[in-house]
Chains A and B, each alone.
Chain A
Amino acid sequence: MKRKLYSLLVSVLAAALVFGGCGSQGGNPSGASDTSAVSTAGSSAQSKIDTSKEAEIVMYIIGNQSPDFENVMKEFNKKSLDDLNATLQVNYLNWGEYKTKYPLILSAGEPIDLIYTATWMNYYYQAQKGAFKPIEDLLPVYCPESYKTITEEAMKQATVNGHIYAVAGTKESYNAYGPVVRKDLMDKYGMKSIDTFDQYGDFLKAVAKNEKGMDPTFFTSTGSEIDDIYMLSKGLYPLTGNSGSIYWIDPKQEQPKVFSKTDWDGMPEFLAKMKEWSDAGCWSKSALANKDTEKMNNGTAASRIKNLEVWVSSNIDTKWDFNFYNFVEPIEILSHMQDAMAVPTSSNNTERALMLLDKIKSDKTYYNLLNFGIEGVNYKIHEDNTIESVDSTKFAFQNGFWGMQMRDFDLNKVGSPETLPQIQKEYHDTAVPNKFRSYYMDTEKIKNEYAAVQNVMEQYFNPLELGYVDPVKGLDTTQKQMKAAGNEKVLAELQAQIDKFIADNK
């Protein structure tokens, strides 16, 4: 009920904007305007949609194409031609090129109907810059089935300036974060569990002392995530919604005050601890120059701070068993915009594209084809409801289709930790909503200062939090540099945004 009201509100708002001439459509014939009359009429409208003309839907996703993919697509297109009189053309943006090419193909104006988007692909920025079509009016009409599955929270998270530009799947990732630790080493040093920060420190020190040629934990040049986990464990919320955020709030406050990591009260204490750990050899003295992200999986590191997914993949991929300890409370579902699909402005087949998307997300046969391939040929499902790949070099699972992952259709992979389904269920049941997850940082007005501040953090804070420099003096330098870079202006702008956000979401 609530969702319907919300969508109605949004669509009315959108229609007002479009007719008021403020819409970003700019005379595109197949935009929101030509369907605004249909409004939220629901699935009954779909039967009236004219699909007599065959349409080719062009989709861009990220990844490298599997060798068997063409065969699978033949199968897929046979079905979609029957059902929707449409075929799907999937173009992969390879891993080596996606960063460069993604903005290029969006700007070059070639017709693309569906494209992967995500927070880490700058969804909010691109949506603001007019890369995508608003689809709030189209979703109930052309995506009736999957529309039902979208939570109110997910809707809010996709909203940019009152419009919805992308639609996510129902897959849930959780904010659980903490050490992933080699089990055999824990046993060796008599550790039953790692529940506190200091226990983790004890583990690191034990490894540092006794295991030659092994890093107790490791980082890459992007800096450690220990500070994130430390602040998350104190119940603070990062404004980017992810680790690595510079600006934080305390969501428990009535009117949360935005502060930068470097100004946080607990920072001196944390840095002193890090200095102590660093001097005890808990990580390499050249940790920031390290480029090897696989240290734990190839046996040269004993632990790392990460999430549930890394824990699972490490267990599947290596010969060791790992334990995972979550330090974050309460459990929340991460923004759905971590993975989503959008319709670029250049699309010529918006309606059919959305219908096809709906089909993929609501029809398991479509879903499995794209994500797992052809049953028997590419995958097998075991009795315990786990899925196994026949030959992952021929067809890789969920290769690039993360933007439409559905919780109910997904299966755990063979070799996953036994406790995984239980943990997933527990997280799902206990997860609490956090309204701030639909807030997104808009750095447009402060882009200069924000870029400068980021640079300062990389230069001064990353070595500081690893205890490479004196914690007191180092923090002082960092704060001064932050100030010079325009920290105060950024803080003021973000504070204004948060205040407005709270007022809007009363």
Chain B
Amino acid sequence: MSYSTLVNNRIRMSKSTIIFNIIGYSILSVLALLCIFPFIMLLSGSFTAEQSIAQYGYGIIPREFSTNAYDLLFKNPGEIIHAYGVTIFITAAGTFFGLFVTSMTAYVLSRQDFKYRNGFSFFFYFTTLFNGGTLTIYIFFVKYLNLKDSYLALILPLLINVFYLLIMRSFMASIPSSIIESAKIDGAGEFLIYVRLILPLSKSGLTTIGLFILLGYWNDWYNAMLYISDYKMYPLQYMLYNMLSATEAISRISSSSGIEISNMPAQSLKMAMAVIATGPVLLVYPFVQKYFVKGITIGAVKG
């Protein structure tokens, strides 16, 4: 934008560049506005009194300020903090192993001289088409793998995502095979090539897929629902999901239960939940961002 940047990047200010930037700026700005607007509504909704939401709907600024939803969520702050801990542990372990297995497998599949790469690709891909269904997987996990109330039940199902695997493979395919050949001539083993050569060359791909795996673990409540019944092992998202469905269900069946439902902030609770669950990821995001948002002219691949 500034003149100095232009000079630094040695880009000539041609007419087309100006037109391009004008279009780019307007499209991105409109899009960014469309994206931030609902998020502000969400934030404001989480601080709005339930009654006010029912009466007037959501707005940019809370019509009637209230921290009811957060009070309810943080009634037992220890629980939330503990659930955060569980989620962070699962996410960290899952992302590390997931990224390791995914990148290593993707590397093998990307090797044009690996004869069975298409066969193996199909072997993996097939599992996205056919699966045994929740019932069979549940029985298998609980009865035979004995994974009930085990953190492994939260990590294993998301460890290999075939979509990420194949995207990673396409990233790695762009690495010139001559690099690998020359490393081999130098006598490097396959694993060494992967660790020393391929991983550093795939930084942007690794960050992207790593981020996706991380988000997958961070947002996962479904596996916790299936396999975790000990509430001390609940990850954050499942705990929040549970609170929400409880408030909703309680109001729905209030007739048959004896639970008092007065002023259950079901609507604002939804919003507050999203804020609490999203917050930490948003804080981490800028640090991750630098690996895939950078001007290509600033210098792209570092060898």
Contact = CB atoms under 8 A, between A and B. Distances in A.
Q: Touch between A and B in complex, CB under 8 Å? A: yes
Interface of A: 63-65, 67, 91, 94-97, 100-101, 103-104, 107-110, 213, 292-295, 297-300, 306-307, 309-310, 312-313, 316-318, 338-339, 389, 392-393, 396-399, 402, 413
A392 B259 contact: yes
B50 interface: yes
Contact of A298 (B51, B134, B242): B51
Contact of B248 (A95, A108, A110, A316): A95
Contact of A309 (B76, B248, B255): B255
B213 to A, nearest CB: 24
B257 interface: yes
A294 B135 CA distance: 34
A399 to B, nearest CB: 7
Contacts of A100: 134, 225-226
A393 B225 CA distance: 23
A295 B54 contact: yes
A104 B259 contact: no
* 8 residue pairs, one from A and one from B, having the closest CB atoms: A309-B255, A96-B245, A397-B258, A95-B249, A298-B54, A398-B258, A317-B262, A97-B225
A91 B148 CA distance: 14
Given A107-B139, A298-B54, A397 B251 contact: no
Contacts of A292: 54, 267
A294 B253 CA distance: 11
Contacts of B244: 96
Given A65-B231, A95-B245, A107-B139, A396 B55 contact: no
Chain B interface size, as a band, is 35 or more
B241 interface: yes
B255 A310 contact: yes
Contact of A95 (B75, B143, B250, B255): B250
Contacts of A91: 229
Nearest to B250: A95
21 contacts: A64-B242, A94-B225, A94-B245, A95-B248, A96-B242, A96-B245, A100-B134, A101-B225, A101-B226, A103-B135, A104-B139, A107-B138, A108-B143, A110-B142, A292-B267, A293-B251, A300-B54, A317-B260, A389-B260, A397-B259, A402-B257
A299 B252 contact: no
Nearest to A118: B256
Nearest to A398: B258
B255 A307 contact: yes
Main DSSP-derived SS at the A contact region: loop
Contacts of B50: 298
A402 B257 CA distance: 8
Contact of B251 (A67, A294, A393): A294
Contacts of B257: 63, 396-399, 402
B266 interface: yes
A64 to B, nearest CB: 5
A208 B134 CA distance: 48
Contact of A96 (B135, B139, B225, B231): B225
Interface in B53-107: 54-55, 75-76
B15 to A, nearest CB: 50
A318 B262 contact: yes
B75 to A, nearest CB: 7
Nearest to A413: B258
Contacts of A101: 225-226
B242 A310 contact: no
Given A65-B231, A107-B139, A293-B252, A396 B258 contact: yes
Contact of B135 (A64, A107, A299): A107
A401 to B, nearest CB: 10
B254 A104 contact: no
Contacts of B251: 293-294, 297
B40 interface: no
A346 to B, nearest CB: 11
B195 interface: no
B138 A104 contact: yes
A65 B76 CA distance: 14
B55 A300 contact: yes
Contacts of A393: 75
Contacts of A313: 254-255, 261
Given A65-B231, A96-B244, A294-B54, A317 B261 contact: yes
Given A94-B245, A298-B51, A393-B75, A310 B142 contact: no
B28 interface: no
Given A94-B246, A96-B244, A298-B54, A399 B259 contact: yes
A270 B259 CA distance: 37
A402 B259 CA distance: 12
B267 to A, nearest CB: 8
B30 to A, nearest CB: 28
Contacts of A306: 255
